[in-house]
Amino acid sequence: MLSYKAPIADIKFLIEDVFKYYDHYKKYEEFEEASPDLVDAILQECAKFCENELLPLYQSGDKEGCKFDNGKVTTPKGFKEAYQQYIDGGWSSLSHSSEHGGQGLPPSLGMVQSEMTGTANWSWAMYPGLSHGAMNTITTHGNDKQKELYLTRLIQGTWTGTMCLTEPQCGTDLGQVKTKAEPNGDGTYNITGTKIFISAGEHDLTDNIIHIVLARLPDAPKGTRGISLFIVPKIKTEQNGTLGEANKVTCGSIEDKMGIKASATAVLNFDNSIGTLIGPENKGLECMFTFMNTARIGTALQGICSAELAFQNSLIYAKERLSMRSLTGKKYPEQIADPIIVHPDVRKMLMTQKAISEGGRAMIYYTAKIVDDISMAKTEEERQAADDRLGFITPILKAFLTELGSESANHGLQIFGGHGYIKEWGMEQIVRDARISTLYEGTTGIQALDLLGRKILMTRGKSLNDFSKEVLGFCKNHSLISSNPHKRQMNRFIWPLSKSIANWQQYSVRLALKAKSDRDVVGSASVDFLMYSGYVVMGYFWAKMAQSAYEKLAGDVENRDFYRAKIKTAEFYFERMLPRTKSLAKTMMADPKSLMQLDQELMSFL
């Protein structure tokens, strides 16, 4: 049986000490209610819900899975009751606009809540999680009638939402979308087509599901320029929210998956389903990215959830499992053997898990503040500036953190040894559940192309340079000779971080020059470049955490071991994980010729 305790101390360290959330909230009068006392109460209550209600359903939900019968999907035992508790507790409305029934608290606080629910039970969390993207899309692009009808009930949680992009013939290449939208002349459209891999596309948790669907209008331009976005409810609705007849949206099947078995992944058939246009005609992809950025950050969060759950259970097991003796002599002579936590290789895996989960959490919480800024922007210039910052870091978060989350899950299975391969311990489930995070919402390769191709090369490195200035500014303020002892100690982090930032900029320039003569350079280097970027970015946040820990230790603070552990973990990261950039630099700068010189006919003897 897996265990989970919400890491409240780690969360509060980030929001109070590292990122100064309360000073950040004071910038916006809309967030004035987000006081330390209220936030602390929210954290404690959310922890209780996740630990007591969601975690017990994690393994049982995987074992039972979702049931499909003639177009209807039944979620595992306990899921529906837990969802009702979620609604009754007001969790669905926490960080959404009070104008439409939300509590008006910061989106960043909603991200903290999502981390807890996702770590306790990712499959369950996907049902309300998909609604957040639908809500953000309708908030940004919907008209007043759409907001009044759909947004209010999505915020209340009485309805849930989805995003319907993928079709049997296309995944990432949405230019191949074939779903049709025929105007009816009354402002509605008949939507016809099949969508696959639709998370939470059909379930029994709510009476209605609001689908956000990509489709083509008649005579629309070919490719991505001819795609529009539509709202298609599962059940037809009156403007007052009264449910009518079914809307000819049927679930053809649900996928039999490797993991997240308690989350229904549906094949949806739209057969002249009635929908309404959201956003301008033929601008569906632009509107969709409102949803996609939300979804990609949410998927990045899954990497941290997997890492945290794997680490917590690995640590418990490593302290209890007795096997062999320490190489430096017996540590527990009264026992038949030492616990495996004394062995350096086990320690390395545990420290890697700890560095990933805590470092990744810092990356997410930093980004959550940017999301706050976007939601509160008063001018288009402010919104665009914040959106550019978000756009730069999103592919790094999504790909890097999910890859490391999967690594952490595999370390957990390895620490458990043979027991990790057995279902009752839960570790193999974390591995299976974590694996999808590197695939959906754009694979690691797709995120890497977005980062290197669009965010670096197409902008001539502007976003990278802006972020680098921020990091180098931090380095300048916390380095060199100083009478402050903790600043001198910070040099062990500042110098390698400064060098990594400088190298990161230089490699981007060199790749840009190489790509001018061979475009395959972008494809061959992109994943390694993204992972390089991720390690540098995480290094920045581990340095920030170390600096905050030193400041706390300089005062009269309780639980001094907590802050010492932060510094020791930062040291581990800089000594054992940041050096991974050296091999990545070598491979990303390699000539793509070795990848492309073997003809397709010679790839196989079949």
On the question of pLDDT at 481 being above 80, the answer is no
Are 504 and 376 in the same domain? no
Task: Give backbone dihedrals phi and psi of 237, rounded to 5 degrees, phi first.
Answer: -135, 145
Are 429 and 511 in the same domain? no
18-27, 216-225, 412-421, 445-454: least confidently modelled range: 216-225
pLDDT category, 488, cuts 50, 70, 90? confident
pLDDT category, 485, cuts 50, 70, 90? low
29 catalytic residue (yes or no): no
Segment 295-323 mean pLDDT: 96
Are 434 and 468 in the same domain? no
- Nearest by Cα to 132 from 292, 271, 21: 292
**In a 10 Å sphere around its CB, with 0-12 CB exposed, 13-18 middle and 19+ buried, how is residue 226 labelled?**
middle
At position 459, the amino acid (one-letter code) is T
Count of the separate structural domains present in the chain: 2
Which among 420, 444, 468 is the end of a domain?
444
Residue 488 falls within a domain, yes or no?
yes
Are 391 and 360 in the same domain? yes
Are 439 and 489 in the same domain? no
Query: What are the tokens at 13?
Result: 């360290």
Share of the chain above pLDDT 90, in %: 90
For the entire predicted model, the pTM comes to 0.96
pLDDT category, 461, cuts 50, 70, 90? very high
CB 565 within 8 A of CB 550: no
Query: What would the pLDDT profile of 23-64 be if each residue is shown by its tens digit?
Result: 999 999 999 999 999 999 999 999 999 999 999 999 999 999
On the question of pLDDT at 206 being above 90, the answer is yes
Compute the distance between CA of residue 569 and CA of residue 561 in angstroms, rounded to an integer: 12
On the question of pLDDT at 258 being above 80, the answer is yes
So what's the pLDDT on residue 291?
65
On the question of pLDDT at 484 being above 80, the answer is no
So what's the pLDDT on residue 528?
98
Beta bridge partners of 213: 164, 230
So what's the pLDDT on residue 483?
53
So what's the pLDDT on residue 472?
96
Residue 348 falls within a domain, yes or no?
yes
On the question of pLDDT at 379 being above 90, the answer is yes
361: CATH: 1.20.140.10
Compute the distance between CA of residue 221 and CA of residue 202 in angstroms, rounded to an integer: 31
- Nearest by Cα to 494 from 584, 563, 578: 578
The distance between the two most distant Cα atoms of the chain, rounded to a whole number of Å, is 83
Query: What would the pLDDT profile of 551-560 be if each residue is shown by its tens digit?
Result: 999 999 999 9
Compute the distance between CA of residue 77 and CA of residue 60 in angstroms, rounded to an integer: 8
Segment 355-371 mean pLDDT: 97
Which among 444, 462, 497 is the end of a domain?
444
Coil, helix or strand at residue 173: coil
Residue 334 falls within a domain, yes or no?
yes
- Residue 376 neighbours by CB distance under 10 Å: 17
pLDDT category, 97, cuts 50, 70, 90? confident
Query: What are the tokens at 400?
Result: 């890097």
Q: Which long-range contacts (CB under 8 A, 24 or more apart) does 246-253 make?
A: 247/273, 247/274, 248/272, 248/273, 248/274, 249/211, 249/273, 250/71, 251/68, 251/71, 251/72, 251/73, 251/201, 251/202, 252/71, 252/194, 253/68
Q: What is the dihedral of CA 185, 189, 193, 194, to 10 degrees?
A: -170
User: Taking the mean position of all CA atoms in its chain, how far away is CA 367?
Assistant: 11
Residue 113 falls within a domain, yes or no?
no
Which among 404, 420, 444 is the end of a domain?
444
Residue 139 falls within a domain, yes or no?
no
On the question of pLDDT at 309 being above 80, the answer is yes
So what's the pLDDT on residue 602?
66
**Domain of residue 512, residue span:** 447-594
Catalytic, out of 30, 441, 575, 601: 441
Are 509 and 379 in the same domain? no
Residue 253 falls within a domain, yes or no?
no
Segment 381-398 mean pLDDT: 95
Are 440 and 456 in the same domain? no
Are 526 and 414 in the same domain? no
Residue 159 falls within a domain, yes or no?
no
Query: What would the pLDDT profile of 125-175 be if each residue is shown by its tens digit?
Result: 999 999 998 998 999 899 999 999 999 999 999 999 999 999 999 888 888
Are 564 and 583 in the same domain? yes
So what's the pLDDT on residue 604?
65
Are 429 and 468 in the same domain? no
On the question of pLDDT at 449 being above 60, the answer is yes
So what's the pLDDT on residue 133?
87
Are 414 and 470 in the same domain? no
Residue 366 falls within a domain, yes or no?
yes
On the question of pLDDT at 545 being above 90, the answer is yes
On the question of pLDDT at 606 being above 70, the answer is no
User: Taking the mean position of all CA atoms in its chain, how far away is CA 133?
Assistant: 12
DSSP readout, 441-456? TS-HHHHHHIIIIIII
CB 566 within 8 A of CB 549: yes
Are 553 and 494 in the same domain? yes
Compute the distance between CA of residue 317 and CA of residue 77 in angstroms, rounded to an integer: 28
